[in-house]
Structure formats: structure tokens, C-alpha cells
Structure 1
């Protein structure tokens, strides 16, 4: 079944209990961050639908009271993370309709009502309009259109057709800057990542998955708005800061942070602008919701890899993951 057919089937079934009222996004790590654009879209655009993005094990231990028969749960795991499978079981017992996003079949795809395979963001040959983040966003757009109606649905869905080519052009356009950034930061012991609005999920993934997990470098993630409520006190000429400047309503917040960093920061401040990645070529009615779909793979596949090369780090090695017992 196509995504719209899945959403329409769920919506028809849920009419028996009053319709779809809530959407929960369940995943862990990078998959959790990958749901940010879908959640952010509904948070911004929906008038009635409630959306909550929650990490798998947090949901297992403390599911929100609103989750029940009027809920759609979108659950993502590349290969079947145990706590995500458990989250799917819990949310299904609570009466929610479940959609699994996956790369490899696992118990997750057995538990969920519907399943949809996606392309990995870390694989160069992937179609970047078919990643987990892209499908999460498309599900959010279709849910809004089916349940409430979404006036920009046609241009939004058409915009997915330009994602892969925009990403590939951005890879070419930004590589020289990425090499320069990696050279300047190869001695950095900590890299602060800033973003806001629709870019915050990409900033979060860059910190926890790319810099901390893959390169084992400390990396706080800070919202550009909250930057001025504490975190800016650590800025000096040596502080390494990576700022995402996005398209959309929160761009002015990113630009405010940029002005401060340009005045008080030093050579290790780097700004990655959505307009340099071609996001301003998307229709302005929907462009902000596509920030993540370009930013996140660029950060993983260009910036993280360039820094790994400069510090002579095999980014597939881990200290604890796949080794230490933590369950």
C-alpha cells in the first residue's frame, strides 16, 4: 500500500472510535531525531491533531495519558532496536494504529499494523527523498490532509521530488567549506551545535549521533533562542560552534545567534546556511519543513566524514555501543 492509502485506511477504521486525534512518534537515537520534521510540521500546521515525539524507552516506562484508540503511532528502527520494539508493543496494546518504518525486517515489522521500508541516510546511493525523516514528514503531511485538510498538500508532496537532486548539488557545493571546517576543528575537544525551529532535529542528530557517537567528541546541542539564556557564557575566541541557519519562521533567531558569534566568537565558529544548500529553491509555503531533509544527510555524509578523515578516526568504531550491556 502507498502511504496515503495506509493513512486513509487507518482514518476510516478510527472513525468507529471518533477518529484520529493524536500522533506519537516512537524511536531511539538518530531515528528519534529523524522524526523531528514530521512532529514539527504537525506542531506548526495542525489545529486539532496533537503530536508528540518521544524516545522509545521513555514511552515504554511512561506513556502519555492521551495515547489510546484515537492515536496513530509511527515507529522507526533501522534493524529492530529492542526498546523500540517494546514501545511498539506497548502503544499497540493501548489501542493505537501502528506504522513501522524500517530498513531490515525485524520483530518491529511483525508487531506493527503497517510497514514501510526506507533508504538509509548514511548510504550515498540512497534516494534522499525516501529516508526515514522524509517518510515521517510525508506521513505527517498526509495525516493532516486526511484528518483536517492541508491547503498546501499538493506543493508539499511535489517538493519531495526535488529533495534528492538538491542534496546531491549541496554535497558538491559545500565540500570545500566542509574540508576547511574539519581542518580548523581537528583539535577541538568540544563542538557546540546550534539550531532552532525546523533545523533543531538535524542539529540534535549531528551532536549525538555524528560527533559524539561516531567521533567520540563532546557536543552539546543548544537551541538558538536559549543560547542567550545561559550557553553564550562559554563563548570565547577558541570555542568551536557549528550553527545551522535555516529557512522559515525561526531564521531570524538563527541570524541573531550568528551576529553574536561573529562579534564574540573566533575562527572556530562555522555557519551552515540553508540557502547555501539550495533550500531557498523550494516553494516558500513549505520550504522550512524540508530543512532537515537536506541538512541532516549533509552533516552526516560530508561534515562528519571530513572531520573523521582529519582526525584519523574510523567512524564505525564505538567504545560502548554493541559492546557494553545496558539493558
Structure 2
């Protein structure tokens, strides 16, 4: 079964369940780390396209301690955890206590799938054999698109659903294109201790995950994530020729923000300024009416599986090592 069909069935069941309680009025996306960041594309899509359905994101820990007052039987809560992060499981329990309907995205079964009403299994973005339409970010986006279609209709729904079939071929082609470029970038930056990642709009979530999960967690390097517009409200003061800057150029309405930041970086930055353009990695092969919403899964996969790995090889630091995660007590 195609993932689009599986998601469609699950969303219909969730919406039908909620009809008896007055229907769905909001969706909340919850996760930790990459599972949290992976929902950025879904949340961004609903902010852009929905007129009625309120959408928000919470980290698992924050949701447990400070759930929103409007959390009730008209809320759909979508939670993601690869193996069952304890705070994410607790978030599902909080959602259920407030009467919300829940969907779990998971790789390995845990108490999360036992607590939630519905479940969808996804494939890890980090594994080469995983198909891009089946990673968590893609499934989250597919859920959002199906919710919009169910609740108020989405004019480009059929185009969007067909696009999921294009994602993996686009990704494989992009891997071949970017690998030699990433090798050069990694060699140039192998001695850097800080790498600034800058993006906006539909690509901002991919930048965030690249910083905190790839560069900081996996390679133990400093990596602030900076919004392309907010770059000019403080962060641009650190720009000079010694800095390593990784600028993402998204497709879509906010691209001028990225281009403005890049123009400044080109004036005052140095040879360690690097640009990854969504148009170069296949987003222009997607119909323009839906292309912006697929920035996140394509960028995230390339950043994780090409650029992070090449930097790991260049620094001779295994991206599988951790200093504290799974080793020290931080519960």
C-alpha cells in the first residue's frame, strides 16, 4: 500500500472519530529533536493553506509541563518518536487525559503506540534504503494535506499526493549531484568549530534539524540556526571571512529573504560561505503550486545523509559517537 493511501485511511478514521465530539478544530504536532523538527513542514503547510484548522508545534517536554488551555476533544495530536522517547509517551498520555485524539508515528513499537488511538510506521531518514516518502517529515506533511482536504478542501490535493511518488527519485538524483560538492565543503570546514546554518520559510525546519541533530549531536560542533530575516537583527554582526556559513535557498514565497541574506554574506563572508539551493536539488522538478511544501523532506535528507556524513569523514569523527546521549543520566 502506498503511504498516501495509508495516511488517507488513518486521517479519515481520526476525523470520523472526532465528528461525534464536534469535529476537529486544531492539530498539534509533538516530538523531540529530529522528531520535533520533522513536523515543521506539516505545520508550515497548514499555516499557509488552512483558513479554519489551527496548527501548532510543541516539544514533548514543554507539552507535558505546559499543555495549551484549548487542548480538548476537538484536538488532534500527532506525536513522533523513533523508539519511544519517555516525554513523548507522557505527552500522548496528557493529550488523552484532555480528550484529544492521537496518532503515533514510530519506527520501533513502544508504549507510544499503545497509548495512541492510531499509528503509522515510518522509515528512518538516516538509512540509505529508506524511501523518502516514508520518512517522518514526509508522513507528517501527508497527514497535514489530508487533514486540510477532509476539513475544508485543498485545491492542489491530487497534485500533492502524486508528488510523494516523485520524492525518492528526486532525492537519489540529488545525492549523486551533491556528494562531490559536499566533499569539497567538508574538506574546507574540517577544522571549523562553529558552523552557522541560515534559512527561512519552508526550509527553516531542515536548517534547525541540520544544526541540532547533525552538526551538534552527531559531530559535537557548535551550530547556531539563524532565520534569514533575523540574520539582519543581530547575527549578521558576526559575519567575516573566517566564518563558516551554510545558507539554504528555499523555493517558495520567502526565497527573497534567503537571497537578501546571501547577498550580504557574499559581500562580507569568505570562502567558507556555502549555498545549497533547493532548485539545484530537484525542487524545481515539482509543480510550483506544491513545491515549497516539499522543501523540508528533500533538504533534511540531503543534509543528513550527504553533508553531515562527508563532514564526519573529513574530520575523522564518527557520527555514531555521543558524549552524553544514552550514556549519562539526564532524565
TM-score using structure 1 length: 0.99
**Residue pairs, 1:36-75, within 5 angstroms:** 36-75=40-79
After superposition, what is the alpha-carbon deviation per residue over 1:197-243, rounded to whole angstroms, capped at 9, x for unaligned? 00010000000000000000000000001000000000000011001
The aligned residue for residue 330 of structure 2 is 326
Of the three residues 78, 101, 106, the one matched with 2:105 is 101
Provide the rounded CA distance (Å) in 2 between the counterparts of 1:291 and 1:3.
20
Matched, 1:207 2:198: no
Correspondence 1:166-181 to 2 at 5 A: 166-181=170-185
Q: 2:254 aligns with which of 242, 250, 253?
A: 250
| Between 80-89 and 14-23, the greater mean CA deviation after superposition | 14-23
Q: Deviations over 1:238-288 (max 9, x none)?
A: 011001101001111111111111111001100000011010110000000
* Matching residue of 1:160: 164
The correspondence for 1:219, drawn from 219, 223, 237, is 223
CA distance in 2, matches of 1:23, 1:278: 30
| 1:120 maps to 2:110 | no
Which SS does the other structure have where 2:193 is aligned? coil
User: What stretches of structure 1 of length at least 5 have no aligned partner?
Assistant: none
Q: Indicate whether 1:18 and 2:31 are aligned.
A: no
| Shift of residue 2, structure 1, vs aligned partner | 2.2
User: Counterparts of 1:2 and 1:182 in 2: how far apart (Å)?
Assistant: 39
Instruction: Indicate the larger mover: 143-152 or 10-19.
Output: 10-19
| Residue 186 (structure 1) aligned with residue 193 (structure 2) | no
Alignment pair present for 1:296 and 2:300: yes
Any residues of structure 2 matched to 1:120-159 within 5 Å, and which? 120-159=124-163
Cα RMSD after superposing both structures? 0.8
- For 1:134 and 1:92, the matched residues in 2 are separated by 25
Q: Tell me by how many angstroms 1:13 deviates.
A: 2.2
Q: TM-score, normalised by structure 2?
A: 0.98
Q: Secondary structure at the match of 1:314?
A: coil
The equivalent position to 2:81 in structure 1, one of 70, 74, 77, is 77
**Which residue of the partner structure matches residue 311 of structure 1?**
315
What is the alpha-carbon distance in structure 2 between the residues aligned to residue 281 and residue 224 of structure 1?
24
- 1:131-167 Cα distance to aligned partner (Å, 9 max, x none): 0000000000000000111111000011000000000
Q: Does residue 32 in structure 1 map to residue 36 in structure 2? A: yes
Q: Tell me how far 1:177 sits from its aligned partner.
A: 0.9
Structure-2 separation of matches of 1:210 and 1:6:
31
Say whether residues 1:262 and 2:266 are aligned partners. Answer: yes
Mapped partners of 1:13, 1:219: distance in 2: 43
Q: Structure 2: how far apart are the matches of 1:134 and 1:203?
A: 16
Corresponding pairs, count? 327
Structure 1 Cα separation of the partners of residues 177 and 76 of structure 2: 39
